[in-house]
């Protein structure tokens, strides 16, 4: 496995060179926060923030995406026939995605490629991306990623792992896949790092992991049955403060639920896929008026049961949370998944 040493000048040049072949995407500062955006020619990703406010999931699962188009014009021979929307999936390199966020997109992929069906919108977007991740040297106080089967240096969802090398703006770039290798070639990176680099990266990884003081455990959740956890008497209390605003579900990198809606413009229209949230009553409302999750606490319970139990039982790949801490930081009611996990794990 190759590890390159990239100094500041080569970095700027390399990104420009790879932009000839790849559409570059990276964090961009927006007021006080960061968001992943397609970079303009010559624009550099801003790697000074730890997490973007919203996760990078919109790169593969846009907030709103046209899936199909149609005409309802009776004179159109294709009246009322759905047509797959024409889409381009240019080769993309996502620069500076955090390792646990890249792992989160792998979790999304488990949902969108479920063995029986494949969501082409998600999968085409995902396959087109080369993930050039940036290790987290200084984890935030709400980072509990190491408890979630990932971490600040996790390589699972990445093609390249960048590690800020200490010197001004230098990186080590650890090539993890053929896709990563192709991107590094396009960028022209060729200076191999010194022989002690693996040891240095390991040491930095250890320091970063040890800096994470926030931990969760779900060993007892694993052993308890779904019904024991579901019927526990704490849920109304646990969910008391939750106003079902859905902020957590939108900020979350692993929340994958969506809605399908039609929009008409005269006799033309589109069928679109939108982010949805289990926090809303409409999410489960039957045509009859019956709602299996009528009460607010039932929806809160659904979210945590899904993340910490249903997903874990179904896939055997740990919990549906990567410990990025976005929901903890952004919840207006101070609901903390770590505390809820602790309650469930008693």
Partner 1 sequence: MINPYVPYPVTIDDIQVATEDKSLKTFRFVFKNPGDEEKFSYKAGQFAELSIPGQGEIPIGIASSPTEKGFVMFTVFKTGKVTQYLHSMKVGETMGIRGPLGNWYPWDTLKGKNILIIGGGFAFTTLRSSIKMMLDPKNRGDYGNIDVVYGARTPGMLLYKDELVEWEKRDDIRMHLTVDSEAPNWNYHVGFTPAVTEKVAPQASDDTYAIVCGPPIMIKFTLPVLEKLGYKHDHIIMSLENRMKCGIGMCGRCNIGRELVCKDGPVFTLDQINLTPKEY
Among 174, 307, 309, 338, binds partner 1 (CB under 8 A): 309
For residue 34 the two structure tokens come to 């960061």
Summary count for the chain: helices (H), strands (E): 13, 11
Give, for 185, the enclosing helix (H) or strand (E). Answer: helix 178-187
Q: Is 313 in the site for partner 1 (CB under 8 A)?
A: yes
Among 141, 199, 237, 264, binds partner 1 (CB under 8 A): 264
Among 17, 82, 232, 245, binds partner 1 (CB under 8 A): 82
Beta carbon nearer to partner 1, 39 or 125? 125
> 137 and 99 in contact (C-beta within 8 Å)?
no
DSSP classification of residue 268: E
Residue owning tokens 């381009």 = 88
Among 13, 47, 207, 230, binds partner 1 (CB under 8 A): 230
In whole angstroms, the minimum distance from the beta carbon of 258 to partner 1 comes to: 5
Residues 12-71 that bind partner 1 (CB under 8 A): 67-68, 70-71
- 276 Cβ contact list (under 8 Å, min separation 6): 257, 258, 259, 283
Stretch that binds partner 1, among 23-31, 49-57, 75-83, 215-223 (CB under 8 A): 75-83
Q: Is 275 in the site for partner 1 (CB under 8 A)?
A: no
DSSP string, 125-172: HHHTEEEEEE--SS--TT--GGGGT--TT--TT-SEEEEE-SSTT-EE
Q: Is 191 in the site for partner 1 (CB under 8 A)?
A: no
> 277 and 257 in contact (C-beta within 8 Å)?
yes
Say how far apart CA 46 and CA 201 lie, in whole Å. 22
Q: Is 75 in the site for partner 1 (CB under 8 A)?
A: no
Q: Is 141 in the site for partner 1 (CB under 8 A)?
A: no
Stretch that binds partner 1, among 23-31, 143-151, 290-298, 326-334 (CB under 8 A): 290-298
Q: Is 118 in the site for partner 1 (CB under 8 A)?
A: yes
Environment class of residue 69 by beta-carbon count within 10 Å: exposed (0-12), middle (13-18) or buried (19+)?
Answer: middle
Count of residues interacting with partner 1 (CB under 8 A) = 55
Interface contacts to partner 1, rule CB under 8 A: 67-68, 70-72, 79-82, 84, 111-112, 114, 116-120, 123-124, 225-227, 230-231, 256-262, 264, 269, 271, 276, 278, 283-288, 290, 292-293, 298, 302, 305-306, 309-311, 313-314
């Amino acid at each position: 496995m190759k590890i390159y040493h990239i100094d500041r000048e080569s970095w700027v040049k390399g990104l420009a060179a790879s932009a000839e072949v790849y559409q570059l995407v990276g964090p961009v500062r927006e007021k006080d926060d960061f968001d992943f955006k397609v970079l303009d020619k010559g624009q550099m990703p801003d790697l000074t923030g730890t997490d973007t406010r919203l996760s990078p999931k919109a790169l593969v699962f846009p907030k709103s995406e046209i899936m199909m188009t149609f005409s309802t014009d009776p004179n159109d021979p294709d009246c009322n026939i759905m047509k797959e929307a024409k889409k381009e999936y240019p080769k993309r390199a996502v620069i500076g995605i955090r390792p646990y966020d890249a792992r989160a997109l792998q979790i999304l992929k488990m949902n969108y490629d479920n063995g029986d069906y494949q969501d082409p919108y998600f999968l085409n977007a995902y396959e087109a991306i080369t993930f050039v991740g940036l290790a987290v040297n200084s984890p935030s106080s709400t980072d509990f990623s190491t408890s979630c089967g990932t971490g600040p240096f996790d390589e699972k969802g990445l093609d390249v792992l960048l590690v800020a090398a200490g010197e001004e703006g230098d990186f080590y770039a650890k090539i993890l896949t053929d896709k990563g290798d192709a991107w590094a070639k396009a960028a022209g990176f060729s200076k191999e790092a010194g022989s002690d680099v693996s040891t240095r990266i390991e040491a930095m990884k250890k320091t970063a992991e040890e800096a994470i003081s926030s931990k969760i455990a779900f060993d007892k959740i694993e052993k308890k049955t779904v019904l024991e956890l579901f019927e526990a008497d704490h849920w109304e209390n646990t969910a008391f403060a939750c106003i079902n605003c859905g902020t957590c579900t939108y900020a979350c990198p692993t929340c994958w639920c969506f809605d399908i809606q039609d929009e008409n413009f005269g006799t033309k229209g589109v069928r679109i896929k939108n982010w949805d949230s289990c926090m809303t009553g409409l999410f489960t409302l039957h045509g009859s008026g019956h709602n299996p999750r009528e009460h607010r606490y039932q929806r809160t319970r659904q979210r945590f049961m899904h993340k910490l139990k249903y997903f874990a039982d179904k896939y055997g790949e740990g919990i549906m949370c990567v410990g990025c801490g976005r929901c903890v930081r952004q919840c207006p009611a101070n609901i903390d998944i770590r505390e809820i996990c602790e309650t469930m794990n008693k």
